[in-house]
Chains A and B, each alone.
Chain A
């Protein structure tokens, strides 16, 4: 059963608010120390009450778990630690019953080296159909123009396989061999995998690592026309057979390059806006709107049926690939003075620690997330201000158990603490006894309640999800002001990026006659006239105004 929204509205993803979560981290129902689908079902009411409309599940498939599940060894099943396929079906039904869409991962660039396809490939003869599922070479000097992504752990994109007596290609870890999309049989396999999950009723796929599908000599092996052709084929297949299902591209590229992943509305429905996220952080730290406005002005128009996916934090490091060297230096100095927090080209921290646990800064940065053009994604635990543990290695420090209460194991599991898949956050500031759902449900001024209110408010206005964006240009650069318009709705957003009170004069002459109604309190402000509109904003204040034309 699919919920009516995604079943009937082909653009449902444009109005969605997505909640990203790893099954293993959310709730452990069978008390083995690892979160599972049964636990997730128990906590679905929490997710629904938060006001989000869509759940994005991180990989939950059988896997050796050398890359937290992005190394898949069986595309058609559930990792036994998380439950069974029946458990997943029950979860899917329960989510749809609550009006939640479900998006799952489709990791199509590579598999685990434990996948049957790879086992057969390395054992098969060179040139055989089985061998051709992956990319092989007798030299590691091909495709030298391709950068190495995981600089901290890999020295080459080729690894020698003693069984096959050839090198195999991998853009990520060496245990993740890349599939060979020059072989049509691979695409056919992927289509069958999609059929399997779409038949069950999932509403969309996050397509992991899509820029790297195809390799060509003399190129960076990223964003190649052949890769786009594969994605168009996937989209065509889905549209023809499974209408209204959504494809979200993970393409960590500059906006102009990401634009290609939308095609003419015939490739991916959504793609992440990677460069925006670090510049929001930069703008807040610099107390200057310039980085944010610049990147948004560089953002190309996308087809009407497409949408940007916006996020502040996710399961990976705060990636700084899509910034200049100078900007990266600034971000490291500003947000990761402790080198322990750095990983690859990024910062492995959660939102609250990045904001210094400053409540008003957290609110401000979320207000930007929820008022910029795109579909916002909330990373589990950020709605309560969870912290991280940068000593856990790789990106595990931002994947710790959800903090449900002040009980043992943060209420996440009744297992012995030693059995937990990850230590609970226990420091005095972000520890589970200080930061947990139970306390924040009871405390009406909590971040959790604030987030719920903001989410519900955003859902009221399609101008946020579908509207145009127009920046204003006040003299005071500590203030970011912009207008969102959709059909009859006109919304004015004003944010003070600084820690001190700021005045601002906005040129709103074109909107003379409108009455700004502050959305949160539904409070009328003075009618806009021809003169500059004067506002004063407290530290990290933001206003959302619904501009009403009275007497209509």
Chain B
């Protein structure tokens, strides 16, 4: 293992205040193409916040610090950040954390190796500074605007919120994994309608930071992959006050090769499923859901329509059915498989995967994951064609409706997850194994 310091080390490179009300942290790794804009936006955002140009809901910042947690970039990312910060680099605090040789071989879906260790170091740095609010921004984002800083910090500093989740503008076809699984599952489990819980940015209060640092999660293998989801779940399940902040578009530069869908599913859905076991006493008590307030005005954005080959998605589903049906019988009841069988023969225009069936499928896989009916990686990968089938079905239903209609359709899906939650609870409490 190579290390540039202990996981808890947080040292200032230049003399600066040892306490601050607000810390804005940038997590970076080989982001030289974007880090300059990100740093400049952070600098501007903090300047506007401190001189009152930007609204913090009435709050004003006396002292702030910028934290940089770089994962060992070899392209000059930290230097570029310092240049972009200009005089503000005097308040820059570079936080360091241990890195391991294997980090680069096992890159999570967000493309940042050792992200959990980076976040832990950031939170420890913020805690050391005694901040009231801490904002975390990914250094690879191309669309960061100065307004993101007050948008993520303001609800904490003035609104009394503990966790501010970005709400990014997305085309109905975009973020399908979140819309089809993460959001409805998260909402049904924890009872909060947090629409994008897996993103890499957030604003957090001092008490939330403290709770995160006190949690027994940081050294778990699963944390290295899904720490962002875990943080959101921790906030939702821990009784913290949540809100969303509309930030507009989020685009980012790709770090290395993009992950294939199967691997992304394994990482994202696996993280959610892995978290279920530890929070069972919370989510089994939750009934229904409450909305999460959206604080701020959504910026005007123009969303391009991605090209999607729906017939290809359907064909992938059908191929998956033929190849993986046997695997599915380990975790899905015969009724669900028979229902899926009916989709093999319908013409593409009439291809529909019912919401309640899809909710039960996701719940079945959650239970199969818990019971280890198959190697977990194999099980989750076998979800891929089912997800593609759901995606095809959803696109066919929303492609001719306005964006608000697409939102309503996702709301309908989320309600189905809530309605079917007793199915998950009952099977979780008294598992029925379909094969032994």
Does A519 belong to the interface (CB within 8 Å)?
A: yes
Alpha-carbon distance between A102 and B387 when the two chains are bound, in angstroms: 44
Chain A residues whose C-beta falls within 8 Å of the C-beta of B284 in the assembled complex: 460
Does A521 belong to the interface (CB within 8 Å)?
A: yes
B residues 401-436 near A (Cβ < 8 Å) are 422, 425-426, 429-433, 436
Is A457 a contact partner of B436 (Cβ separation < 8 A)? no
Does B319 belong to the interface (CB within 8 Å)?
A: no
Does B345 belong to the interface (CB within 8 Å)?
A: no
Instruction: Tell me which of A444, A459, A460, A522 contacts B426 (CB under 8 A).
Output: A522
Alpha-carbon distance between A520 and B287 when the two chains are bound, in angstroms: 17
Is B433 a contact partner of A522 (Cβ separation < 8 A)? no
A residues 524-552 near B (Cβ < 8 Å) are 548, 550
Alpha-carbon distance between A234 and B287 when the two chains are bound, in angstroms: 47
Given A442-B436, A443-B436, A548-B287, do A456 and B426 touch, yes or no (CB 8 Å)?
A: no
**What's the minimum C-beta distance from B433 to chain A, rounded to whole angstroms?**
4
Does A147 belong to the interface (CB within 8 Å)?
A: no
Instruction: Tell me which of B216, B425, B436 contacts A444 (CB under 8 A).
Output: B436
Alpha-carbon distance between A78 and B426 when the two chains are bound, in angstroms: 45
Chain B residues whose C-beta falls within 8 Å of the C-beta of A462 in the assembled complex: 281
Tally of A interface residues using CB under 8 Å: 17
Does B104 belong to the interface (CB within 8 Å)?
A: no
Chain A residues whose C-beta falls within 8 Å of the C-beta of B422 in the assembled complex: 522
Does A90 belong to the interface (CB within 8 Å)?
A: no
Is B436 a contact partner of A520 (Cβ separation < 8 A)? no
| B interface majority secondary structure | loop
**What's the minimum C-beta distance from B434 to chain A, rounded to whole angstroms?**
9
Is A453 a contact partner of B433 (Cβ separation < 8 A)? no
Does A4 belong to the interface (CB within 8 Å)?
A: yes
**What's the minimum C-beta distance from B182 to chain A, rounded to whole angstroms?**
24
Is B426 a contact partner of A453 (Cβ separation < 8 A)? no
Is A4 a contact partner of B431 (Cβ separation < 8 A)? no
Tally of B interface residues using CB under 8 Å: 14
Instruction: Tell me which of A442, A443, A522, A548 contacts B429 (CB under 8 A).
Output: A522
Does A523 belong to the interface (CB within 8 Å)?
A: yes
**What's the minimum C-beta distance from A172 to chain B, rounded to whole angstroms?**
43
Chain A residues whose C-beta falls within 8 Å of the C-beta of B216 in the assembled complex: 4
Chain B residues whose C-beta falls within 8 Å of the C-beta of A522 in the assembled complex: 422, 425-426, 429
Does B259 belong to the interface (CB within 8 Å)?
A: no
Smallest Cβ-Cβ distance to B435: which chain A residue:
A444
Smallest Cβ-Cβ distance to B284: which chain A residue:
A460
Alpha-carbon distance between A456 and B431 when the two chains are bound, in angstroms: 11
Is A523 a contact partner of B436 (Cβ separation < 8 A)? no
Given A460-B280, A460-B284, A548-B287, do A519 and B436 touch, yes or no (CB 8 Å)?
A: no
Chain B residues whose C-beta falls within 8 Å of the C-beta of A520 in the assembled complex: 426, 429-430
Alpha-carbon distance between A181 and B430 when the two chains are bound, in angstroms: 51
Contact with B along A451-468 (1 / 0, CB 8 A): 001001101101000000
Smallest Cβ-Cβ distance to B424: which chain A residue:
A522
Chain B residues whose C-beta falls within 8 Å of the C-beta of A456 in the assembled complex: 429
Alpha-carbon distance between A543 and B432 when the two chains are bound, in angstroms: 19
Q: Which of A443, A522, A550 has the most CB of B within 10 A?
A: A522
Alpha-carbon distance between A299 and B282 when the two chains are bound, in angstroms: 32
Is A453 a contact partner of B430 (Cβ separation < 8 A)? yes
Alpha-carbon distance between A453 and B426 when the two chains are bound, in angstroms: 11
Alpha-carbon distance between A426 and B287 when the two chains are bound, in angstroms: 50
Alpha-carbon distance between A191 and B216 when the two chains are bound, in angstroms: 32
Alpha-carbon distance between A523 and B287 when the two chains are bound, in angstroms: 14
**What's the minimum C-beta distance from B369 to chain A, rounded to whole angstroms?**
15
Given A442-B436, A444-B436, A548-B287, do A457 and B426 touch, yes or no (CB 8 Å)?
A: no
Is A453 a contact partner of B432 (Cβ separation < 8 A)? no
Chain A residues whose C-beta falls within 8 Å of the C-beta of B287 in the assembled complex: 548, 550
Alpha-carbon distance between A443 and B426 when the two chains are bound, in angstroms: 20
Beyond A460-B280, A460-B281, A460-B429, 4 additional contacts (C-beta under 8 Å) are A453-B430, A521-B426, A521-B429, A522-B422
A-B contact pairs, 16 of them (CB 8 A): A4-B216, A442-B436, A443-B436, A444-B433, A453-B431, A456-B429, A457-B430, A460-B284, A462-B281, A520-B426, A521-B426, A521-B430, A522-B422, A522-B429, A523-B426, A550-B287
A residues near B (Cβ < 8 Å) are 4, 442-444, 453, 456-457, 459-460, 462, 519-523, 548, 550
Q: Which 7 A-B pairs have the closest CB atoms?
A: A522-B426, A522-B425, A444-B433, A522-B422, A520-B430, A4-B216, A521-B426
